[in-house]
Amino acid sequence: MSEAEAVVPPPAAWKYSSPDGQGRPSLPEVHASVAVPQGGLWLRRMLAFAGPGYMVSVGYMDPGNWATDLAGGSQFGYTLLAVIMLSNLMAILLQSLAARLGIVTGRDLAQACRDHYPRPVNLVLWVACEAAIIACDLAEVIGTAIALNLLFGIPLIGGALITALDAFLVLLLMQRGFRYLEAFVVALLVVIAGCFLVQIIAAAPPVAAVLHGFVPSTQIVTNPAMLYIAIGILGATVMPHNLYLHSSIVQTRAYPRTEEGRRDAIVWATADSTIALMLALFVNAAILIVAASVFHGSGHTEVAEIGQAFELLSPLLGLGIASTLFAIALLASGLNSTVTATLAGQIVMEGFLRLRLPHWARRLLTRGLAIIPVVVVTALYGESGTAQLLVFSQVVLSMQLPFAVIPLVRFVTDRGKMGSFVVPRWVATLSWTVAGIIVVLNLKLLYDTLAG
């Protein structure tokens, strides 16, 4: 029997409208384009699936995370490391669910929502998701502009305008193949991790205090100021658009679309995202550890802005290159986040609306909507205004998070849609619990922010 004859259709009872019962695949230009070896060493198969998890991990260490990590470390030392770890564990669970949805059903989260919900609900979900992607892009524009300003002295407005050019970078990489895009992302992740590894070694934080910081403390709940930053860390860590992204890009692997092939793909995709998100845990923890060791330890407890951290890092650490490494990591973070936001935007627009735009047009549209408020706020209020705008972008992301998490958990816990691939009962219970925690904490963050 040929592979085509052996293909098993997805078990999900989605309301496909196309004649073949499947509809257009997610990201059709790269769908099943990465070969997966059948048999042989397990390492070759793991490497074949490696990539999507690292692209997803980018969103968990983008410029929007930096402000909360810096504030948490400078004000409260190592205490909030526990929050970073718990947030990361939640992210690992949710991303594994997104990968399972994409592999089992052949649909990304946006397509799944379109097939399940009525049109008015889908329009609301689409608008909310587009707002989140623009907010994420806003953080990337600000972060990249600040990095260009710190490294080369380019004014913030000029740096924001330069970020529009990244549309052509993404287009070039996509034309060369999805593996080139993944390699670009991984290379920048190595740069980010390397920069912070050097800074941690130079800071030489006390190991006992760092390890103690990973143990949850009642202070986090009883101290209102600490709780506020803790919720901010959670809101900045779990990115809604990453759930749409991951459910799509796992389908770039040419695994057999059979029951056995899907089960195997779920295992490797989950391992890929888990390993990648542990790297994101290291980077986020490293930002907070450096802030705690350098700023909190020297009495500079009010450092919350990226520019402040850049100015103080080298003098306090006694390492001339420390501030430069900090800015290089920020630039790499901003560039990397650009790639994932571009793909997420395409996935969401095609999934909810079945509307296809050229990649460069979609990228310039999203980036333009993000650049305009940055330029206006910078011109009116200067650098302090962009710092407030960065916080606002995280609030917008928090508002959208329930619209992505709840449908995802709803789908993967439904046996009628997932068939034998439905998650076990204990995973379903844990998933709904995590979804509830995230929604409640993000709503509190939104309320506290709007209430001043």
Helix, strand or coil, per DSSP, at residue 272 = helix
Question: Does the residue 252 lie in any domain?
Answer: yes
DSSP lists the bridge partners of residue 253 as 34
pLDDT of residue 140: 77
The answer to whether residue 296 is domain-embedded is yes
172: number of Cβ within 10 Å = 12
> Is the per-residue pLDDT at 17 higher than 80?
no
φ, ψ dihedrals at 253, nearest 5°:
-85, 140
Sequence letter at residue 109: L
Mean pLDDT check: name the lowest of 6-15, 137-146, 321-330, 368-377: 6-15
Confidence of residue 272 (pLDDT cuts 50, 70, 90): very high
Q: Examine residue 4 and state whether it is found in any structural domain, yes or no.
A: no
pLDDT band (50, 70, 90) for residue 21: very low
pLDDT tens digits, 275-308: 999 998 999 899 999 999 999 888 888 877 788 8
Tell me the three state secondary structure of residue 254.
coil
Mean pLDDT value of segment 121-139: 83
Give the pLDDT confidence score for residue 362 in this predicted structure: 67
Q: Which domain holds residue 61?
A: 26-450
**In this predicted structure, what is the pLDDT of residue 53?**
93
CATH number at residue 96: 1.20.1740.10
Say what the pLDDT of residue 117 is.
Answer: 92
Decide if 128 is inside a domain.
yes
| Cα distance between residue 119 and residue 122, in whole Å | 5
Name which of 86, 36, 427 is nearest 269 in CA terms.
36
pLDDT digits (tens, 9 = 90+) for 178-233: 888 899 999 999 999 999 999 999 999 999 999 999 999 888 878 878 887 887 77
Task: Give percent above pLDDT 90 in the chain.
Answer: 37
pLDDT for res 359: 64
So what's the pLDDT on residue 298? Answer: 85
Is 158 a residue whose pLDDT tops 70? yes
Check residue 384 and give its pLDDT: 66
pLDDT digits (tens, 9 = 90+) for 425-449: 999 999 999 988 877 876 776 676 6
* Number of domains observed in the structure of the chain: 1
3-state secondary structure (DSSP) of residue 131? helix
Domain assignment present for residue 365? The answer is yes
* Distance between CA atoms of residues 307 and 61, nearest Å: 18
Whether 5 is covered by a domain: the verdict is no
- Nearest alpha-carbon partner for 126 in 294, 354, 313: 354
pLDDT value at position 3?
43
Residue 20 lies in a domain: no
- Residue, of 166 and 90, whose pLDDT is higher: 90
Residue 8's pLDDT band (cuts 50, 70, 90): low
**Does residue 398 surpass a pLDDT of 60?**
yes
The average pLDDT across 130-135 equals: 79
Q: Which of 164-173, 354-363, 399-408 has the highest mean pLDDT?
A: 399-408
pLDDT value for 10: 57
pLDDT at 113: 94
The answer, yes or no, to whether residue 19 has pLDDT greater than 60, is no
Examine residue 19 and state whether it is found in any structural domain, yes or no.
Answer: no
Of 29-38, 112-121, 352-361, the least confident: 352-361
Alpha carbons 342 and 367: distance in angstroms, whole number: 9
Task: Report pLDDT for 236.
Answer: 67
Region of poorest pLDDT, from 149-153, 186-190, 280-284, 360-364:
360-364
Q: What is the mean pLDDT of the chain?
A: 83
DSSP run (H or E) holding 87? helix 81-105
pLDDT on residue 16:
38
Residue given tokens 């205490």 in the structure block? 79
Q: Which long-range contacts (CB under 8 A, 24 or more apart) does 264-270 make?
A: 264/45, 265/36, 265/49, 265/103, 266/99, 266/100, 266/103, 266/104, 266/421, 268/45, 268/46, 268/48, 268/49, 269/49, 269/52, 269/53, 269/96, 269/99, 269/103, 270/96, 270/99, 270/100
pLDDT of residue 5: 40
Which residues lie below 8 Å from residue 273, measured CB to CB, with a gap of 6+?
52, 53, 56, 57, 92, 95, 96, 99, 246
